[in-house]
Homo-oligomer: A and B are copies of this chain.
Amino acid sequence: MIDGIEVKELKMIKDNRGFLMEILRGSDKIKSDGQGAFGQMYISTAYPAVIKGKHMHKLQTDHLTVIKGRGAIHLEDQREGSPTKGKKEVILVGEDNWKLVKIPPGIWHSTENVGTEVCYFINYVTREYNHKEPDEYRGAFDENERKMPWKPLIMG
């Protein structure tokens, strides 16, 4: 696992009316970033096969989950001095993989819809988005780096 990435398994409580799932608590270990004040929460959707990113923040920590659909979070550590510098990984989130992923500053990340329906990403971030001076750096997602474990085999 890339240094600093944390994952919280989410528990879905179901009944005949629907489900309830806690996403994030102020006292969660995964929330222990010393930034107690409320930052911002937003939703971002992706149509099937869409990849958003890659993005990187210098100050902000993301707490990303999928609450509907099947998503993949692509991560890439290019931080100088990081013990996992150069490492890339993919975490599946959403249906069958209910979890929250904490992404500290400095790690490049992309969100992908790997399902057949619209995918709903919820993100709690530790800082408010500043339109004038956004803490958001953008790069191009490298399609050749899409190393999903279930990538279909092309039979020769």
Contact = CB atoms under 8 A, between A and B. Distances in A.
B22 A40 contact: yes
A44 B37 CA distance: 24
B45 A18 contact: yes
Interface size bucket, A side?
Answer: 35 or more
B17 A42 contact: no
A24 interface: yes
Residue from A16, A36, A67, A119 whose CB has the most chain B CB atoms within 10 Å = A67
Interface of A: 16-27, 31, 36-47, 50, 52, 67-68, 113, 118-120, 122, 124, 128-129
Which 7 interchain pairs have the tightest Cβ spacing? A18-B45, A26-B38, A17-B50, A18-B46, A22-B42, A25-B40, A20-B44
